[in-house]
Amino acid sequence: NTNLSGGHRFGIRHEHEFSENTSILFEPQINLGTGSYTQTQETETSYYDLISDPYKLSSSKIANSGANKNMSASGRFLLRQRLGIPGRTLTVNANFSFSDNNILGKNYNSTESYVKGGSLMGTPTIVDQQFTNNQKQSRITANATFTEPLGDNFYVDAEYAFTWNKSASNKDTYDLDEKGQYTVFDPSYSNNIINQSTQHDLGVNLLYQSETFRAQLGFSALPTHTYNSTTQYDPKTGSYTPRDYVDDRWNFSPRAMLFGTVGESTEMRIFYRGNSQQPSTSQLAPVPDNTDPMRISFGNPALTPYFTHNVNGSVRISNRQTFFSMNINLGGSMTQNPIVNATWYGSNGARYSMPFNGANTANANFNITINSPIAMSDFSVVNMTRANWSKSSTYVGNVDMSQYSSDPMVDYYGFMDEFIAKHPDLTKASDFITNKTNSLRLMEQLRFVYRADALQIGVSARTNINKTWYSIQENAQNTLTFNNRASVDFDWTWEGPGIQFTADANYDWYNGYDTDQPSQCIINAGIYKTFGSVTLSLTGNDILGQTRNLTVTDSETYHQESVSNSLGRYIILGVTFNFGSMGGRRGGMGMGRGMGGGMPMGGGMMGGRR
């Protein structure tokens, strides 16, 4: 895959105070961009079981390309108004965004299917198309908040928010004619989609605020209107048939927040909020994505919005005298009516997927970090523990989809009408195998640090544990994996000549993988010399040339282990100029030591530090 993009961005910021009670902020922005992409791929699918010998089912080749031009505009407007007495305020905030993206692309692929003996089944299926796709999206949000003091540190505020979204996609697809030109219109892969939604958020909150404690309790109602219109060729009628879908619903969201401090050392916070979200245009579009003939997906115009509950909390303890600190964070969410993928398979190994509203999903996370000095010495210890759990469901159809192998759109609307009527509730559908997936990820890291005036040495050890459970294969093997690392780092400043030395080494080893993963040792080192406002540096990254990227993906239907090469060993000679403060701008580029395998290759670096 190759992707290229470029663009220009223009914007202004205007802030004005009419008086000490009234101020506005306006920030508009315009973006102009272009891009292009190419994709080539070869795939072979084989069948394996525990009885017969494996044999090839199919093979495919892909060569896709395209280019696009896009324009977008966005902006923010904020009005702040004090009204008479302290604490009585009115805030109005509005945001808008518009985008227009035009794509010209080519889609070429060929697929060969085989019988069990290895012979080719029929002739190869070839798709050679050119398409244009115009995508427009508009979004306007506005909210107003009025706050009224009630006395004794109590406040009440009323909120109103309005959100309007509209997206439109017009796709025209053409096949080759006898002269080799793309002039034959293909209605099966062309469509016109309009998706529009409107949401109102009406809420009221009671607040209490003192120097050490803040609390908020509120409630909001969210009426939502969704309209989706899809116009596409219907082979039953031989004409273009618009299909409209309308959904009106009310969601109710309580909200709560507690924030408190105990003395100067402890701070606590807990927060809850719910929100409703709409399906995307790509999830609603019924036209199949046939860029990969072995992985075909198509949308579902009958998708409905989903609602998510979020809870987050934290406790922070710090002692300025002893330099001890502890941070605890926990959170979780649950999504009602989530959008999940249902999957079917063909006899040639091709996979077909469509989004549906499925069973509730949930996740939870917890992490704690403790930083403590050891007695009154220059040594300290840092311990970090993290845990993440998630639960989700997907659905695998037990109906052979080979009838759609040549053209998944032969009778899409007929299929949808029959399927939706038969499966109004996907969680109870008999034609699906429901797979419930639970994943648990744990991380433990212990680090010892020695700090002196000019020297810092750190030693640490870390392990990441991943485990996944599948309901359709309760005894699935090799889903318990361990990623382990032992590290040491060194930083010494020689103040006389103004020289700094840095070095770090990381030793990684792995357990539990399907394929044996060799260990690796990654060593980085650097030397820095300062001459007034100029710093010279020489850094060596991955000196032993052993860096590899190992990625593990546990989805609802498979466990994947992927190893990819990285940049590897390289040396950078850098020059940094310190220009001092530049107009009070925040940030800047500072000289730091290279990170193993993570810095882009280049001949040198020039930047400025504040």
Do residues 265 and 317 make contact, with C-beta atoms less than 8 angstroms apart? Answer: yes
Residue ranges in the chain modelled with pLDDT below 70: 50, 233-238, 281, 285-288, 290, 348, 398-431, 473-478, 554-558, 581-610
pLDDT value for 401: 55
The four Cα atoms 580, 583, 587, 591 give a dihedral, to 10 degrees, of -20
Q: pLDDT for 426-483, tens place per residue?
A: 556 566 778 888 889 999 999 999 998 899 999 999 999 988 888 876 655 557 889 9
Strand 295-297, strand 351-357: pairing: parallel
If you compute the radius of gyration of the chain from its CA atoms, what whole number of angstroms results?
30
pLDDT value for 423: 59
For residue 284, the surrounding DSSP H or E stretch is: helix 281-284
pTM of the full predicted structure?
Answer: 0.67
- How far from 597 is each of 519, 544, 591, CA to CA, in Å? 16, 11, 17
Separation of alpha carbons 241 and 323, rounded Å: 70
Burial code of 379-399, b = ≥16 C-beta within 10 A, e = fewer?
ebebebebbbebbbbbbbbee
Separation of alpha carbons 130 and 526, rounded Å: 52
Tokens of 173: 């697809």
Tokens of 354: 């469509």
Q: Closest Cα partner for 271 from 228, 323, 214?
A: 214
pLDDT value for 75: 96
For residue 84, the surrounding DSSP H or E stretch is: none
Tokens of 285: 């579009």
- How far from 493 is each of 43, 454, 515, CA to CA, in Å? 54, 5, 43
pLDDT value for 400: 57
66 contact partners, CB below 8 Å, separation of at least 6:
36, 37, 103, 104, 105, 106
3-state secondary structure of 371: strand
Strand 339-345, strand 379-397: pairing: parallel
DSSP string, 508-529: EEEES-SS----EEEEEEEEEE
Q: Which amino acid is at 175?
A: D
The four Cα atoms 330, 280, 2, 192 give a dihedral, to 10 degrees, of 180
pLDDT value for 343: 81
Separation of alpha carbons 188 and 199, rounded Å: 33
